Amino acid sequence: MIDGLFIVLEGVDGAGTTTHTKQLKDSLASRGLPVHQTREPSDGPIGVMIRQILTGRIVVPGLHGSRPPTWKTMALLFAADRADHVESEIEPNLRDGVTVISDRYYHSSVAYQSATAPEGADRAGEVARWVREINRYARKPDLTIVLDVSPEVAAKRRAERSKGSEIYDDLELQRELTRFYSNIERHFPDERIVHVDSSGSREDVAARILHHVREARGEKI
């Protein structure tokens, strides 16, 4: 049995990764392709805990009030969730010949955990390398699609949706993340990573994503 294709959608909060993961899954499924949609943080035990941290349900208590865990703890938690996610869900599906589409993967760790390292740290260098290192054995995606959108458009989209606030909502941080994502491939030189402008209509963006997926599948475009 030939392994399924492992596809990842990435981008800042509000870039549309969740919408387009679902959209892509639906359009591949409607063509008769076996396909599995998933996300990170995953729905496994560590992923569920991470979501509680993101929404402020779990905090680190301290003398001067509580705070979220640091970027280092977060990077290790995300890496542990990922190892579990790959072993329990991603690889079994791929081995069954199922195409797996993940809403976020280790590129998010390199972007978010590096961007939240303290000012003065070598975020794009030493820090990003360490985050990659702790994810070294996570299976490499066959195709990663980065949805590009300006921090302002992304902020507007985040404000419009019903989801409550999360620890990475800060506009300045989202600007730094936009910079990380604009050149994320430099941290993953041996991977197939493409960018899609996500500021257009949902249909246009979906069509461009599908184009890249068909190309990666070796379909005649």
CA distance linking residue 133 with residue 10, whole number of Å: 19
- Our finding on whether 180 is near ligand TMP (CB under 6 A) is no
Closest CB to ligand TMP among residues 112, 181: 112
Task: Single out the residue of 21, 38, 99, 108 in contact with ligand TMP (rule: CB under 6 A).
Answer: 108
Closest CB to ligand TMP among residues 40, 142: 40
Least separation in angstroms between CB 48 and ligand TMP: 12
Classify residue 68 as exposed, middle or buried by CB count within 10 Å of its CB (0-12, 13-18, 19+). middle
The CA angle 197-206-141, to the nearest 5 degrees, is 80
Task: Single out the residue of 44, 53, 85, 112 in contact with ligand TMP (rule: CB under 6 A).
Answer: 112
Burial 104-141 (b: 16+ CB within 10 A, else e): bbbbbbbbbbbbbbeeeeebbeebbebbbebbeebbeb
Closest CB to ligand TMP among residues 36, 82: 82
- Our finding on whether 42 is near ligand TMP (CB under 6 A) is no
Closest CB to ligand TMP among residues 33, 188: 188
User: How many alpha carbons fall within 13 Å on the CB side of residue 178?
Assistant: 19
Stretch that binds ligand TMP, among 24-32, 85-93, 103-111, 141-149 (CB under 6 A): 103-111
* Stretch (H or E) spanning 77: helix 71-85
* Helices then strands, each counted (H, E), the chain: 10, 5
Q: What is the DSSP string of 172-203?
A: HHHHHHHHHHHTGGGG-TTS-EEEEE-SS-HH
Task: Single out the residue of 11, 16, 40, 146 in contact with ligand TMP (rule: CB under 6 A).
Answer: 40
Task: Single out the residue of 99, 109, 174, 178 in contact with ligand TMP (rule: CB under 6 A).
Answer: 109
CA distance linking residue 164 with residue 200, whole number of Å: 25
Least separation in angstroms between CB 31 and ligand TMP: 26
- Our finding on whether 84 is near ligand TMP (CB under 6 A) is no
Least separation in angstroms between CB 92 and ligand TMP: 20
Q: Which of residues 132-161 bind ligand TMP (CB under 6 A)?
A: none
Give the footprint of ligand TMP on this chain (CB under 6 A). Answer: 13, 40-41, 54, 78, 104, 108-109, 112-113, 166, 168
